[in-house]
């Protein structure tokens, strides 16, 4: 009898797996309508804002929920823009991002906590300048709805402050403050119907 119960339990668990997988949806981040922005302080005083293009990203959701269960993103530091060619060149150099050898910035979530779409946390690993370190972003659902073409979209916001020296960017501490604010505005497009 124990063997029969064990086998039935195993069949129920294995049979439930496809159902669970079908309930997870992958939403694609639209890089044209999404922004990754950083703010550093010149001489530790004046905020200087720049953007780094999101090359590709995705958000995984449980069906019926707007709070992500997983997030991944890739950005291209070689295309960063602070609206000043000389500063952009310095930021791309070995002084900071060293895009000649490490142009890619990558984020992969490891844990997302919270049940309130207005505030949840996104823990994950941020890789840039060839180094990976954990970060925790504050996330929120900004809005959701349908595009004119009928596709479901969700707008997310997320932010975190990092210490750039943790990623080996130690050049110019008197010129650029070590604390860097990162903010993201993301449009996630739902799967095609």
Domain boundaries, the chain: 23-189
Phi, psi of 88 (to 5 degrees): -60, -40
Q: Collapse the DSSP code of 170 into the 3-class scheme (helix H, G, I; strand E, B; otherwise coil) and give the result.
A: coil
Pairwise CA distance, residues 23 & 111, whole Å: 19
C-beta separation of 112 from 138 below 8 A: no
CATH number for the segment(s) 23-189: 2.40.128.110
H/E stretch holding 90 reads helix 85-92
C-beta separation of 41 from 177 below 8 A: yes
- Taking only the tens of pLDDT, the chain with its 193 residues reads 444 333 334 334 444 444 444 499 999 999 999 999 999 999 989 999 999 999 999 999 999 999 999 999 999 999 999 999 999 999 999 999 999 999 999 999 999 999 999 999 999 999 999 999 999 999 999 999 999 989 999 999 999 999 999 999 999 888 999 999 999 999 999 987 6
Query: Around 72, how many Cα atoms within 13 Å sit in the side-chain half-sphere?
Result: 3
Confidence (pTM): 0.86
């Amino acid at each position: 009898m124990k063997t029969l119960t064990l086998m039935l339990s195993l069949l129920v668990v294995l049979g439930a797996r496809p159902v669970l997988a079908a309930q997870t949806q992958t939403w694609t981040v639209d890089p044209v309508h999404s922004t990754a922005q950083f703010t550093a302080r010149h001489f530790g005083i004046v905020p200087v804002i720049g953007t780094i293009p999101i090359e590709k990203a995705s958000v995984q959701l449980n069906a019926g929920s707007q709070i992500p269960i997983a997030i991944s993103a890739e950005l291209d530091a070689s295309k960063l823009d602070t609206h000043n060619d000389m500063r952009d060149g310095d930021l791309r150099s070995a002084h900071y991002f060293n895009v000649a050898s490490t142009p890619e910035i990558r984020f992969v979530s490891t844990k997302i906590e919270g049940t309130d779409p207005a505030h949840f946390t996104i823990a994950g690993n941020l890789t840039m300048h060839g180094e990976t370190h954990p970060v925790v972003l504050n996330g929120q659902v900004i809005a959701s709805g349908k595009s004119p073409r009928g596709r479901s979209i969700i707008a997310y916001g997320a932010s975190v402050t990092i210490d750039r020296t943790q990623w080996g960017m130690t050049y110019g501490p008197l010129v650029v403050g070590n604390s860097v604010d990162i903010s993201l505005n993301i449009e996630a497009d739902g799967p095609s119907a």
